[in-house]
Amino acid sequence: MRVRAYRFRAYSSKTTARVLETQLEVACKLYNTLLHAEQEEYERNKHSMSRNDLRQLALDTRRQNPEFQVLYAQVAQQVADRFYEARQRFFDGLGNKPKVKKPYQYLSLVYPQHGWKLSNWREVGRGKNKKRRARLRLSKIGFFTLIIHRDLPLEQVSQVCVKLYPSGRIYVIFTVEEPETQEQTLDEPAKVVGVDLGIEKLATLSDGRYLENPKPLERSLERVKTIQRALSRKKFLSGNWFKSKRRLAKEYEHVKNLRRDLFFKLGVLLAKDYDVLVLEDLDVQGLIQKGVTRTRRMRLYDSSFLEIRALLEWEFRKRGKLVFPVPAYNTSRECFFCGRVNKDLTLADRVFVCPECGWTVDRDLNASLVLPKRAGWVPPAVPVELRPIPPLPTLGLVGRQGGALKQEAPPFRAG
Ligand SMILES: [Zn+2]
């Protein structure tokens, strides 16, 4: 079974939002209580509590302490599950030891089976904009209005999560379990594409197409910087500081949404044309070996790099197509034609010239050609000219409403 999440924006009254905030704080406290109980138990008896022990403990704590009774019982149980899973990850060597959580780190509640209900379905919007609106009742919290902008297989929902974002927005995430797609068997020669991710060109494809860093994204990044500066001038923890903090969180979410949207679309575009996607497998070791230039590149890309990869992969896997991560070491400095590594190439060189065979090509294109070669597919030897992918359908719409987009923004500087 594969898990798929459907996320919808949720709107609520101020009172309900405040109830949610209080409950998050309580859940956080419960989490920490469990953590301490587990630590004590371990010190005393050298024994780690099982999932059921922890669940029972959560329920008992809830029963004995009126403060915790504001939580729905299953939600309290799920807090225990969350701690159990964090601890399990630590035992398996996949994560750090669970630590005491601060309220701002605890931002979601999960209703595993019951305690939620959707009602009052209604059609809203016209034409292409047609969506459905529904009312969600979460036990012990209250009512939310959801805009259901895509089909939700309601019978298969296995859990519901309500999440408060740092910007103050609330989202509801439905988890749906669905059967795995069969991987396609590749009898006929597969169509392969290599994708190199970068900054100036967000993605360069081995067929010569590339995706430029879109303007709305650049401008958002610029705005992030401005707010960041404003925030640093505010008095720490003052009213204005919190205001800036929230504005910053909002801007970050905007950038994130933009990027997600863009890369989902790129994923769809690629998955339609190709059977196999070859990407750089970025591992820490590789990064260290690559030294300064790549580090700089990574810092700019930070965590979203992994996300972008995950999004592209998802679009391929969903269709039963293949994704090949290949070692990223030296992809941008290796000559596609003869395989020689051009050590003198710096980040400033936009064109790759091989000192050995004279192969001259755009640097990112060279990298995207090297990728499929490393995966065992040899793309056509002489690629077509670089040409931009025409703007993806809705990018024009995602900018801020009204004037903000039209204003002349200062040019984006990379670093
Ligand atoms: Zn060469």
Cβ(15)–Cβ(133) under 8 Å? Answer: no
For position 285, what pLDDT does the model report?
Answer: 46
Q: Residues 307-364: pLDDT tens digits?
A: 778 888 888 888 888 888 887 777 778 888 888 887 777 767 788 888 888 888 888 8
Token pair belonging to 27: 């859940």
Alpha carbon of 360 to ligand 1 centroid (Å): 8
Provide the 10 A C-beta neighbour count for residue 31.
Answer: 21
Alpha carbon of 202 to ligand 1 centroid (Å): 25
pLDDT for 405 beyond 50: no
Please give the Cα distance from 262 to 197 (Å, whole number).
13
Alpha carbon of 351 to ligand 1 centroid (Å): 13
What average pLDDT does the segment 287-293 reach?
Answer: 50
For position 398, what pLDDT does the model report?
Answer: 39
To the nearest 10 degrees (0 to 180), the angle between helices 14-45 and 51-64 is 120
CA distance from start to end of the chain: 43
Alpha carbon of 339 to ligand 1 centroid (Å): 6
Cβ(5)–Cβ(174) under 8 Å? Answer: yes
For position 372, what pLDDT does the model report?
Answer: 87
The residue type of 366 is: N
HEC per residue, the chain? CEEEEEEEEEECCHHHHHHHHHHHHHHHHHHHHHHHHHHHHHHHHCCCCCHHHHHHHHHHHHHHCHHHHHCCHHHHHHHHHHHHHHHHHHHCCCCCCCCCCCHHHCCEEEECCCCEEEEEEEEECCHHHCEEEEEEEECCCEEEEEEECCCCCHHHEEEEEEEECCCCCEEEEEEEEECCCCCCCCCCCCCEEEEEECCCEEEEECCCEEEECCHHHHHHHHHHHHHHHHHHHCCCCCHHHHHHHHHHHHHHHHHHHHHHHHHHHHHHHHHHHCCEEEEEECCHHHHHHHCHHHHHHHHHHCCHHHHHHHHHHHHHHHCCCEEEEEECCCCCCECCCCCCECCCCCCCCCEEECCCCCCEEEHHHHHHHHHHHHCCCCCCCCCCCCEECCCCCCHHHCCCCHHHHCCCCCCCCCC
Q: Residues 86-106: pLDDT tens digits?
A: 999 889 887 788 999 998 889
Alpha-carbon distances, residue 114 vs 75, 140, 157, 206, 329 (angstroms): 10, 12, 11, 49, 49
Alpha carbon of 298 to ligand 1 centroid (Å): 26
Alpha carbon of 333 to ligand 1 centroid (Å): 10
Alpha carbon of 334 to ligand 1 centroid (Å): 8
Alpha carbon of 363 to ligand 1 centroid (Å): 13
412 CA to centre of own chain: 23
For position 286, what pLDDT does the model report?
Answer: 46
What average pLDDT does the segment 187-211 reach?
Answer: 81
For position 403, what pLDDT does the model report?
Answer: 32
Alpha carbon of 352 to ligand 1 centroid (Å): 10
Give the predicted TM-score (pTM) of the model: 0.77
Alpha carbon of 292 to ligand 1 centroid (Å): 24
Region label for 93, one of left (φ > 0), alpha (ψ between -120 and 50) or beta (otherwise):
left
Q: List CB-based neighbours of ion ligand 1 within 5 Å.
A: 335, 337-338, 340, 354, 356-357, 359
111 CA to centre of own chain: 22
Alpha carbon of 388 to ligand 1 centroid (Å): 25
pLDDT for 368 beyond 70: yes
Of 35-44, 56-65, 138-147, 347-356, the range with the lowest mean pLDDT is 347-356
Q: Residues 373-385: pLDDT tens digits?
A: 888 877 665 555 6
The residue ranking higher by pLDDT, 306 or 64, is: 64
For position 80, what pLDDT does the model report?
Answer: 96
Alpha carbon of 380 to ligand 1 centroid (Å): 15
Alpha carbon of 356 to ligand 1 centroid (Å): 5
Query: Residues 6 or more apart from 44 whose CB is under 8 A from it?
Result: none
Alpha carbon of 278 to ligand 1 centroid (Å): 21
Question: What pLDDT band is residue 116 in, cutting at 50, 70 and 90?
Answer: very high
Alpha-carbon distances, residue 169 vs 195, 212, 217, 326, 405 (angstroms): 34, 30, 21, 38, 23
Alpha carbon of 342 to ligand 1 centroid (Å): 8
Alpha carbon of 366 to ligand 1 centroid (Å): 11
